[in-house]
């Protein structure tokens, strides 16, 4: 595209973003220093105003005040707010998904899937509102009852990343609200418009059901805004999604003030392909996990550990599949791979591919830039790189569509390779041998361990998160709600005596 045509296209995208915000009920923001850009063209969608330190302080104050009354609302009644949010998400799924595509560059199917994930987690939270179970246990003292109860924690600060600009927010917010917490959300500075849209829908839901809209606050801006949120003692829980470097900064600051952290950080996910694998199934699972979202998922497949007897066949099949991937404008039909989020991501990808070659690797296919929509948009062909060993480069996470291919001879070796990276988010094995599958499930040190599917595409029913440098947090399903509440052990004496525990006699 010529400069003039690209500029015109960017203006069209900007107009579309304004129209989508209006259809979602959000006011078009006033111009400011924070620019919402689209990776589709690299152009500015809308300029808006970043939050100041005073804005962050005020937002936390409003959330802390709202918590005092919100915590006393019965959990099933709190769920009415989440139920109404789910209804609004259903009604506006297409518009919100398109806004996700404009800001994050996801293809339509993935963007719609992300909004569906929001709806699903709302449904999970609604059911959870009647299942915030404590436990009772026998007391050693006669006439006493011993039990544990769960209570709202306070203000939850949520810091989310660009690659799932709305789903991760909903994981935290739907569950936190049902648990009786209030929320202050800082979206990625790369995706501020989806943040504005979701905040608007939630406040509308609150007004529709008679809940206090102040239970949710939105702050926008760069790392300084996040730092203000992280350092405030009124924020009981900081749930942060992003890089390992970000987590290494957040965790000590929160710990220093004895707050709580829920961290979802990097992933360097591997799939093992065993000799017994259904190769056709494996190819489909590998391609989606490695190339989906242009390799910009925390669960994207980055390492492929293939049995030596199968590697040549599998590489040939994957090369054929990669050659057929349609890279292009995610708003167009038939596109499977959209753009990288920005130039920085492209530079990191090219640097990693150069290092791979310097370390004796072979770039089998992909890696080149696809010139589609001007100089400020960065489209690339997903890359396959055969590596002689698991080097320092392979142990790092590059947030781009690079799949490093390694070989193994026995399963213990493959599991050791899977585990020999700092991150521990997602892993998978393709095998029809049940013994191999069970050995892998027991041996992988990741928070997510799959059999005969790829590393990405988690359902909301299971707790999502990982170990080691991934941060140890768990969000979404299972008992992840416990992160958003505090536990109290209660002893009730309904006797006329005052016996002490452990049989102690005093006085």
Alpha-carbon span 449 to 458, nearest angstrom: 11
Residue 445 backbone class (left: φ over 0; alpha: ψ -120 to 50; beta: rest):
alpha
Alpha-carbon span 402 to 418, nearest angstrom: 17
Q: For residue 208, what are the CA distances in angstroms to 11, 77, 174, 211, 480?
A: 35, 13, 16, 8, 28
User: Residue holding tokens 């005969």?
Assistant: 452
User: Residue holding tokens 């005073």?
Assistant: 54
Residues constituting the chain = 507
Contacts of 453 (CB under 8 A, 6+ apart): 285, 428
The residues annotated as belonging to the active site are 264
> In 151-222, which ranges are continuous DSSP H helix?
167-178, 192-209
E strand spans, 69-118: none
Contacts of 315 (CB under 8 A, 6+ apart): 306, 364, 384, 386, 405
User: Residue holding tokens 């599998």?
Assistant: 314
Contacts of 178 (CB under 8 A, 6+ apart): 75, 78, 79, 82, 125, 126, 128, 129, 132, 481
Alpha-carbon span 270 to 390, nearest angstrom: 12
Alpha-carbon span 507 to 505, nearest angstrom: 7
């Amino acid at each position: 595209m010529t400069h003039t045509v690209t500029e015109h296209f960017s203006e069209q995208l900007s107009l579309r973003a304004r129209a989508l915000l209006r259809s979602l009920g959000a006011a078009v923001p006033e111009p400011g220093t924070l620019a919402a850009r689209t990776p589709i063209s690299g152009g500015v969608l809308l300029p808006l105003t970043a939050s100041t330190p005073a804005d962050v302080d005020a937002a936390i104050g409003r959330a802390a005040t709202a918590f005092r009354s919100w915590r006393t609302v019965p959990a099933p009644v709190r769920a009415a707010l989440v139920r109404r949010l789910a209804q609004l998400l259903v009604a506006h799924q297409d518009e919100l998904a398109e806004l996700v595509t404009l800001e994050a560059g996801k293809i339509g199917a993935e963007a719609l899937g992300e909004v569906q994930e929001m709806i699903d987690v709302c449904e999970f939270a609604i059911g959870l509102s009647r299942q915030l179970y404590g436990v009772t246990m026998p007391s050693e003292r006669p006439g006493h009852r011993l039990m544990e109860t769960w209570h709202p924690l306070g203000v939850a600060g949520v810091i989310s990343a660009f690659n799932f600009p709305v789903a991760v927010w909903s994981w935290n917010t739907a569950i936190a609200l049902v648990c009786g917490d209030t929320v202050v959300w800082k979206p990625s500075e790369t995706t501020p418009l989806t943040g504005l849209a979701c905040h608007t829908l939630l406040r509308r839901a609150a007004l529709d059901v008679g809940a206090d809209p102040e239970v949710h606050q939105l702050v926008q801006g760069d790392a300084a805004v996040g730092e203000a949120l992280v350092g405030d003692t009124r924020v009981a829980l900081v749930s942060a999604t992003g890089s390992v470097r970000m987590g290494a900064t957040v965790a000590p600051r929160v710990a220093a003030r004895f707050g709580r952290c829920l961290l979802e950080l990097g992933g360097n996910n591997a799939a093992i392909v065993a000799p017994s694998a259904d190769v056709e199934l494996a190819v489909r699972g590998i391609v989606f996990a490695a190339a989906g979202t242009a390799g910009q998922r925390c669960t994207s497949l980055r390492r492929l550990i293939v049995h030596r007897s199968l590697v040549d066949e599998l590489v040939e099949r994957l090369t054929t599949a990669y050659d057929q991937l349609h890279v292009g404008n995610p708003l167009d039909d038939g596109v499977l791979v959209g753009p990288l989020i920005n130039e920085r991501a492209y530079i990191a990808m090219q640097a990693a591919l150069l290092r791979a070659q310097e370390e004796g690797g072979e770039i089998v296919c992909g890696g080149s830039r696809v010139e589609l929509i001007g100089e400020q948009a960065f489209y690339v062909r997903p890359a396959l790189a055969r590596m002689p060993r698991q080097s320092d480069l392979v142990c790092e996470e590059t947030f781009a569509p690079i799949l490093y291919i390694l070989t193994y001879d026995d399963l213990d070796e493959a599991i050791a390779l899977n585990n020999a990276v700092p991150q521990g988010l997602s892993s998978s094995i393709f095998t029809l041998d049940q013994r191999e599958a069970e050995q892998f499930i027991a041996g992988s040190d990741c928070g997510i361990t799959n059999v005969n599917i790829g590393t990405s595409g988690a359902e909301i029913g299971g707790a999502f998160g990982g170990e080691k440098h991934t941060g140890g947090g768990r969000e979404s399903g299972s008992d992840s709600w416990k992160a958003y509440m505090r536990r109290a052990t209660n002893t009730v004496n309904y006797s006329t005596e005052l016996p002490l525990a452990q049989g102690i006699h005093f006085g």
